[in-house]
Structure 1
């Protein structure tokens, strides 16, 4: 080795930063309330922490990412990139960390396809430089006469919006991107797979095997420790839960009903440090933004407050939206404080939401069952398993608070998180 020459890994350590090349979308990297988020970002941040360096973000145009990598401006690409033969000619890939499959996407009111041959005569819009372009070119070369329209640096998420709003008829998207964005654009239909299953990986320069090896070691550790699963659950855990009519109504009512209550929701949320979008998601789950809603159990109003809770929170009219929101947020805050023993703030909020729905005592009972089963009592994933057991005599007869429809709070929290995610993406 020449005197003074430093390997890429030594350069990273000396700089104290590792440079991630990515793209700005819901699956890779975005900012929310001035905080960076995204599946790829969270995983890359964990990798940087593993190396003991800071993470620097570089967001070039999509079709220049490999040029940016090979010119030395960035260290690795983490952007939900599929591992393909053409890409392996110009970069070195890590071991896979997710399986995806290309799907044909169309509007719900436009007929899809039942077999590949039906692509003949269709015009399909895809982003230039993607694996979708490669696959469509293969299909066309096989003798199926389709038309490929290439869009310069237009994100797949934006192309899905174009399909949703009937600006174009057809596109292709990887299954993870399609499933995540379906909640934002419920008019899209995820149709036939047009390719075998593929794998996502991170890319480094061909000459940077040391960094590739470090990435592989990290990914193996992340899988073994459950870190990879935790990050996956955060972003993709509930994408298979899809109720077209419910989500369509939600998108409509964000425009028609939410504006009437947005000010009071923001005011009350800020009092206790909650994100107003979370409170709005709760209100929709409770009442569909209907201030006069009444459940079969007699709870009333925008936040579906019970009579005892109304008295406890100091309100007199549950049908008054301002009073309802005031009582609901105050009660959620009270529930939040009662779970102060849970160290992770995000987990604590999930427990508080469940307590709001099913009652504090039942959540503690579910924790007790989790402890008996050797599960982490401070993780919501544990309670997703044990709360439903409260409806089984074998379990609830041993608890302090007895029987509960424990599946309901699990469903309740999942729905709220879906609505919350949609509101965050809408900014």
Structure 2
């Protein structure tokens, strides 16, 4: 039995708040809807905080949007991502972002172990608490109707929504709210859209007259109205919705740790039950919801180089060179993010320079030549292509993993690690066995007998893991954007997510968008 406790400031206050919450939400479900949802998810895997720490990464399921998670000049940003990253950092964990595709339900990802936490402005609902645990809340929002700024008739109450078609995602809490309105006898029509469309895309669709209305959280709508004109805030549908992280029911230690973190940053005061936030949360709210200058900065996505694209400031430079050499351009961008964070003037302690951190003594180019962006990218791709070709007889995952390890540690150390795998009767063509060998090369017992000596195995292990994670995430973003570009659907692309105005120029580079 899944139990959720909302310990807010005192037990009595919590009882009042939660009772009110479920009183509002309880009417939003028909018996048929509940029956349809029965047994929709598989049992959760047994994978708690200790196992997550042993792995070294914690997987965050979130939406690609300007509220939760997005790329700004190639670097990861977002309210949910930054708040969650602070939790991960406190536990010595790296964050691996998992973006659900249109067919994926984040609860499925959670229960299968493909994600550990859902953090995407996730509202606690009676349906969701049947399948997963929720942490203590860290935000409280109101659901409001989003309407065109100019309307033929005034809509000021829930009853006046009769005859209006409201468009939402089927798996959103907004859909559940609309079911409740219908249950109460309000003649509102519900239209559902693909899960890949975020709320801001629908706000934009209202502004452009493509749909009559949608629903949004009040803080998101007000932030969106800074840069999306032509919409207004309509009646409030649900008050004081609690926003929390979703965690599988088989991870009590993870939930306990998350609760401790969240309650150190958010609580409700006595006796007025007003939210009280830490400095960190106030800074993040200012950055993403309240400061107009910052909102414009993140939403505008103005190019910082002539090559700026969907993933990074150098998409337009990387893509044609990578395609010419037969390397996936998204992999190259993932390497570049790891190596230099897109800084063309970066210089490492080992003397590696530029976007791809090429070491001059291992290149036919001089150090001065390698500070040229195009030359550096071309040389970096040439080297990674050489490593990919060396492991071309392997399946793609092992091929890429070993090529990345070689790019980072060098051919000699990887060869030593593979010999250790052979000596231990393990397959040297499987990355996990080579990774184990690299870690052993930090141990005197092993590196004293290795041809190339000591290796920073943990650095290479993290390097491969981080790039593979980022590569998968980039691939998901581009595929989802491509699906939207190719879809005959009438839906426009969100200004704030991967469905951005830049998607067309990215996916069709020959198109002039100047």
TM-score range normalised by the length of the shorter chain: 0.5 to 0.7
Among candidates 57, 65, 79, match of residue 25 of structure 1: 65
Contact 2:69 2:79 in 1 (8 A): yes
Question: What CA deviation, in whole Å up to 9, does each residue of 1:88-131 have, x standing for no partner?
Answer: 11110011111111101111112451111111111111111111
Is 1:176 paired with 2:229?
no
**How far, CA to CA, are the matches of 1:184 and 1:165 in structure 2?**
13
Is 1:84 paired with 2:128?
no
**1:241/1:14 CA distance change after superposition, 3 Å:** closer
**How far, CA to CA, are the matches of 2:154 and 2:193 in structure 1?**
21
Among candidates 99, 114, 117, match of residue 73 of structure 1: 114
**How far, CA to CA, are the matches of 2:125 and 2:109 in structure 1?**
19
Contact 2:48 2:250 in 1 (8 A): no
Is 1:236 paired with 2:308?
no
**How far, CA to CA, are the matches of 1:189 and 1:20 in structure 2?**
33
Contact 1:179 1:239 in 2 (8 A): no
Q: Extract unaligned runs of 5+ from structure 1.
A: 255-261, 268-274, 276-420
The equivalent of 1:38 in structure 2 is 78
The equivalent of 2:159 in structure 1 is 117
The equivalent of 2:139 in structure 1 is 98
The equivalent of 1:393 in structure 2 is none
Contact 1:179 1:240 in 2 (8 A): no
**1:95/1:26 CA distance change after superposition, 3 Å:** same
Residue 70 of structure 1 deviates from its aligned partner by: 1.1
Q: Extract unaligned runs of 5+ from structure 2.
A: 1-44, 267-276, 307-312, 314-495, 503-514
**How far, CA to CA, are the matches of 1:137 and 1:200 in structure 2?**
20
Contact 2:220 2:289 in 1 (8 A): no
**1:46/1:145 CA distance change after superposition, 3 Å:** same
Contact 1:105 1:170 in 2 (8 A): yes
Among candidates 172, 177, 185, match of residue 228 of structure 2: 185
Q: Which has the higher contact order (CA 8 A, sep 6+)?
A: 2
**How far, CA to CA, are the matches of 1:85 and 1:50 in structure 2?**
31
**1:162/1:234 CA distance change after superposition, 3 Å:** same
Q: TM-score, normalised by structure 2?
A: 0.46
Matched position secondary structure for 1:14? helix
Q: TM-score, normalised by structure 1?
A: 0.55
Is 1:127 paired with 2:127?
no
Contact 2:134 2:247 in 1 (8 A): yes
Contact 2:143 2:217 in 1 (8 A): yes
The equivalent of 1:143 in structure 2 is 185
**How far, CA to CA, are the matches of 2:46 and 2:128 in structure 1?**
27
Residue 216 of structure 1 deviates from its aligned partner by: 1.1
Q: How does 1:2-17 map to 2 (within 5 A)?
A: 8-17=48-57
Question: What CA deviation, in whole Å up to 9, does each residue of 1:33-83 have, x standing for no partner?
Answer: 110000001011111101101000000136611111111111000000111
Question: What CA deviation, in whole Å up to 9, does each residue of 1:179-211 have, x standing for no partner?
Answer: 121122121111110112211100000121211
Contact 2:57 2:95 in 1 (8 A): yes
Question: What CA deviation, in whole Å up to 9, does each residue of 1:137-189 have, x standing for no partner?
Answer: 01101111111011121211111111111011111111122112112212111
Q: How does 1:242-391 map to 2 (within 5 A)?
A: none
**1:225/1:159 CA distance change after superposition, 3 Å:** closer
Q: Which has the higher helix share?
A: 1
**1:112/1:45 CA distance change after superposition, 3 Å:** farther
**1:7/1:142 CA distance change after superposition, 3 Å:** closer
**Root mean square deviation of aligned Cα:** 3.1
Contact 2:142 2:238 in 1 (8 A): yes
Is 1:195 paired with 2:238?
yes
